[in-house]
Each structure stands twice: as structure tokens, then as C-alpha cells.
Amino acid sequence: MADSFPFIPYQREILSDEEMITKSNAFYSYMDKRRSVRHFSDRPIPMEVIHKIILTASSAPSGAHKQPWTFCVVSDPTIKKAIRKAAEEEEYTSYNGRMSEEWLKDLAPLGTDWQKPFLETAPYLIILFRKSYDLEDGVKKKNYYVNESVGIAAGFLIAAIHHAGLVTLTHTPSPMNFLQKILNRPDNERPFLLLPVGYPTADAEVPDLERKDLSEVTVFY
Ligand SMILES: Cc1cc2nc3c(=O)[nH]c(=O)nc-3n(C[C@H](O)[C@H](O)[C@H](O)COP(=O)(O)O)c2cc1C
């Protein structure tokens, strides 16, 4: 049976240990500069870049190669306005009673509140939807490890945005089902993350956070 499916040779350049160390160091330094930014300029960015960062995200591994995701790209000001309004309504309720004291305390260093002006200012909003199942000619097709797969694709997307010299914010207005309605998505899709994409404002600031070091996040056996 396996013989009936085509395989192709997998070839990659083999690096020396030294090159590998240099490259992994450089990549770590580059990725460690990524920050979540909450102040966006309205400066336009080329659509070609949006295409390529989405293709990068969509190259992520996925359970049984189902690629169970849809990337909705919003630049229409009317839709952005509707998304901002609905997100701020949810966030207002969250910040004024729905979030626990502990949650609000954990968020305090980030300086966030219910207001989300970047949802209108950023040139593009990418809303990532998870597809709990696929529909082929009205027939339900199973997807596997959907959360894990879409989470990995989101990581690729965030890395690609950073690599393009742009910034984003991993935004999760909660609950997010208003996105399904505004964007008119089918029943098998559920909103996963909302990512504004653009340039930071010239005076953008980010919280002075520290990241855990290797020994805090790793166990070697
Ligand atoms: C799943 C997830 C959800 C998040 N949701 C929000 C959010 O709704 N609003 C927000 O301002 N930041 C949100 N963030 C961003 C985090 O606050 C941020 O990643 C964290 O503070 C670390 O900062 P850094 O991304 O600059 O390293 C979220 C991040 C993740 C991974």
C-alpha cells in the first residue's frame, strides 16, 4: 500500500559543528529581540509580505498533514472598526469583573487595559481560525491534534512577522466568537488568535520583562 504513495529524496546542506553553533547563536539572538508590541503605526506594508508570512505559517507541521487552519486577513477599515468595537466590549467586561484578581495582578506589568486602538491602526489584522474538522462536498473529514497544529503555525507566523522587520501582538480578546460572526466563518472554524501586523510607532515602548534562563526551563537527562 505504502508503495502507491510517492516519496522524494530529502536533501539538506550538512553544517559543521562550528557553523551550527554560529547559526543557532545568531538565530537565538535574533528571535530574542522579538517583542509583543501594542502601539502600531498606520504605515502600509506590501501585501506580498502578508502572503509570504502566511505561506510560512502554513508550512508548519500538522497532525496527518491536514493543515487545519484559515488565515483571515483584514484591511477593510469598516471591518477593523467592527472588530475593535466588539473586542473592546468583551475586554471592558473582562477588565471590569470577569477576570480574577490574580489575573489582573499578573497583567499589571504589561500595562494593558480594555482599549485596543491598534485594531484599527495596524494596516492588517490576521485572524487565525482553527478547523475542528474539514468539509469536503458537505462531508465531514477528521482533523487531528488541531490545537497543537494551529499553535505551531501561530509560532511560525509570529517568527515570520519578526523576520520581515514588522511587529505583532498575540491577541486573545475573550471570548472571541464575535470574530466568527463578523468574518462570516463556517461552523467548523473557531477563532484561535488575532494578530495585528505592522510597524511600531516611533515612540512605542514595551514592558521591561525578563525571560527565564535555560536552567529554569530545561531538564537534561
Ligand atoms: C496565547 C497568548 C495570548 C495572549 N493574549 C494577549 C492579549 O490578549 N493581549 C495582550 O496585550 N497580550 C497578549 N499576549 C502577549 C503576552 O502578554 C506576551 O507575549 C508576554 O507578555 C511576553 O512578552 P513578549 O511577547 O514581548 O515576549 C498573549 C500571548 C499569548 C502567547
**pLDDT mean over 90-118:** 95
φ and ψ of 52, to 5 deg: -70, -35
Determine the distance separating the centroid of ligand 1 and the alpha carbon of 169, expressed in angstroms: 7
Question: Which residues contact residue 59 at a Cβ distance below 8 angstroms, ignoring those fewer than 6 apart?
Answer: 156
Give the number of the atom of ligand 1 that is nearest the alpha carbon of residue 172.
8
Would you say residue 192 has pLDDT above 90?
yes
Per-residue model confidence (pLDDT) at position 116: 97
Cell of 86: 466588539
Confidence of residue 130 (pLDDT cuts 50, 70, 90): very high
Question: Is any ligand 1 atom within 6 A of the Cβ of residue 153?
Answer: no
Determine the distance separating the centroid of ligand 1 and the alpha carbon of 37, expressed in angstroms: 9
Question: Is any ligand 1 atom within 6 A of the Cβ of residue 35?
Answer: yes
Q: Which residue lies with its CA nearest to atom 22 of ligand 1? A: 36
Question: Is any ligand 1 atom within 6 A of the Cβ of residue 171?
Answer: yes
Per-residue model confidence (pLDDT) at position 138: 86
Question: Is any ligand 1 atom within 6 A of the Cβ of residue 36?
Answer: yes
Give the number of the atom of ligand 1 that is nearest the alpha carbon of residue 37.
26
Share of the chain above pLDDT 90, in %: 96
φ and ψ of 194, to 5 deg: -120, 125
Question: Is any ligand 1 atom within 6 A of the Cβ of residue 121?
Answer: no
Cα–Cα–Cα angle for 31, 29, 116, rounded to 5 degrees: 35
Cell of 219: 531538564
Residue pair 171/193 in contact by the 8 Å Cβ criterion: yes
Question: Is any ligand 1 atom within 6 A of the Cβ of residue 94?
Answer: no
Domains and CATH numbers, the chain: 69-200 (3.40.109.10)
Amino acid identity of residue 120, one-letter, is: E
Is the entire prediction scored with pTM above 0.85?
yes
Site to probe by mutation for ligand 1, drawn from 36, 40, 210 as the one with most ligand atoms within 8 Å of Cβ, is: 36
**pLDDT mean over 163-179:** 96
Closest CA to 193 of 130, 147, 127, 119: 127
Closest CA to 72 of 124, 120, 149: 124
Residue pair 130/147 in contact by the 8 Å Cβ criterion: yes
**pLDDT mean over 193-203:** 98
Determine the distance separating the centroid of ligand 1 and the alpha carbon of 20, expressed in angstroms: 30
Cα–Cα–Cα angle for 64, 69, 70, rounded to 5 degrees: 150
Q: What is the mean pLDDT of the chain?
A: 96
Rounded-to-integer distance, Cα 101 and Cα 138, Å: 45
Per-residue model confidence (pLDDT) at position 2: 56
Rounded-to-integer distance, Cα 128 and Cα 124, Å: 13
Cell of 39: 502601539
Confidence of residue 99 (pLDDT cuts 50, 70, 90): very high
Q: Which residue lies with its CA nearest to atom 7 of ligand 1? A: 171
Residue pair 58/153 in contact by the 8 Å Cβ criterion: yes
Residue matched to cell numbers 494551529: 150
Q: Which residue lies with its CA nearest to atom 12 of ligand 1? A: 171
